[in-house]
Amino acid sequence: MNLWIFCLFFQEFLTQTKTHYDSELEAVDFRTKCEEARVKINNWVEEKTQGKIRNMVVKGMVNNMTKMVLVNAIYFKGKWSVPFQRSNTREVQFRLNKKDTKPVQMMELKSHFHRASIDEASCEILEIPYEGKALSMLIFLPRQIEDNETGLKKDLLTAETFMEWTHPHEMEGGEIVVKLPRFKLEEKYELNKVLSSMGMVDAFDETKCDFSGMSSNKGLFLSQVSHKAFVEVNEEGTEAAAATGSLVADSVSYFTADHPFLFFIRNRITKTILFAGRFCSP
């Protein structure tokens, strides 16, 4: 996360944000060098995301009246603990609903995974660990899709049910053939209205905000809060030490994500959700 501001920060504030949040703050000249500041912000985002997120701040988003811009760019391209083999990837039809389909590159891997069957939500949950196994992807796959709907019963999913359904006592391990689409998702959010609706109102109001702990400049307020996320899921992983073997065995079960699903990337130690998304169409 980075904060771009038309003033100077207190050194103590800079030290604390770097120490506790590893956040970067930088003074720029919005008043006389607005376009230069915009390009500088975009270059920072592009560098931090290895070129995956570009032109985050579009022309017109900042001007010579801009005081402060908060930018958060999050990029994730994890390596699987056990990689999918590219030779197993095939084009198949992804079911958007009961009537429509679209072609997708479907990856395939047989390995030891943990899964749960949640009858009350009529869905299956699969956990795929990333390299190092501190992070994993959890996939919530509906058993059926209903007419023109995706079948995702989001109203049943709360913080409490999420923790309950993904608790180790619910997840059973075993040999599973996993079929998962290769996909890439990118989304941008302007958060001013969202944050205001959650109670963060004064920060956007020049007459009410108080950032005196950050800077001695008066009249400082947030002009814009932008968030952009990029997630890529493909075959890449650690060295292919565990090759996918024959897909024939009586004890093997299947998990085929060929219709809309929810996914979450979670820290397995802290239980913190780092990413949450929905894949509905290639």
Q: Are residues 257 and 220 in the same domain?
A: no
Diameter over CA atoms, the chain:
71
pLDDT in tens, the chain (282 residues): 555 555 567 888 888 888 887 777 777 788 888 888 888 888 888 887 878 788 888 888 888 878 777 777 777 777 899 999 999 999 999 998 888 899 999 999 999 999 999 998 889 999 999 988 889 999 999 988 765 555 666 678 888 999 999 998 899 999 999 999 998 888 888 888 988 999 999 988 888 888 888 877 777 788 778 888 888 888 884 333 233 333 344 467 899 999 999 999 999 989 989 888 889 888
Quick one: pLDDT at residue 12? 86
Distance of CA 220 to the CA centre of its chain: 31
Q: Are residues 99 and 194 in the same domain?
A: no
Q: Enumerate the β-bridge partners of residue 76.
A: 231
Q: Are residues 23 and 68 in the same domain?
A: yes
Quick one: pLDDT at residue 209? 85
Q: Are residues 174 and 204 in the same domain?
A: no
Q: Are residues 61 and 93 in the same domain?
A: no
CATH of the domain at 224: 3.30.497.10
CATH of the domain at 94: 2.30.39.10
Other C-beta atoms closer than 10 Å to the C-beta of 138 total 22
Q: Are residues 129 and 249 in the same domain?
A: yes
How far apart are alpha carbons 167 and 277 in whole angstroms? 20
Q: Are residues 18 and 67 in the same domain?
A: yes
Q: Are residues 155 and 47 in the same domain?
A: no
Residue 237 lies in a domain: no
Q: What is the pTM of this model?
A: 0.75
Residue 148 lies in a domain: yes
Query: Domain span at residue 270?
Result: 86-181+243-279
Residue 252 lies in a domain: yes
The residue from 211, 231, 251 where one domain ends is 231
Q: Is the dihedral of CA 168, 229, 27, 191 positive or negative?
A: negative
Residue 91 lies in a domain: yes
Q: Are residues 57 and 171 in the same domain?
A: no
Residue 125 lies in a domain: yes
Q: Are residues 126 and 255 in the same domain?
A: yes
Report the domain count for the chain. Answer: 2
User: What burial class does residue 123 get, using C-beta atoms within 10 Å of its C-beta: 0-12 exposed, 13-18 middle, 19+ buried?
Assistant: buried
User: Phi and psi (nearest 5°) for 141?
Assistant: -115, 115
Residue 248 lies in a domain: yes
Quick one: pLDDT at residue 109? 93
Residue 236 lies in a domain: no
How far apart are alpha carbons 143 and 162 in whole angstroms? 17
Q: Are residues 112 and 176 in the same domain?
A: yes
Quick one: pLDDT at residue 176? 94
How far apart are alpha carbons 200 and 194 in whole angstroms? 9
Q: Can you say whether residue 160 is alpha, beta or left, with left for phi > 0 and alpha for psi between -120 and 50 degrees?
A: alpha
Quick one: pLDDT at residue 237? 44
Q: Are residues 63 and 138 in the same domain?
A: no
Quick one: pLDDT at residue 228? 82
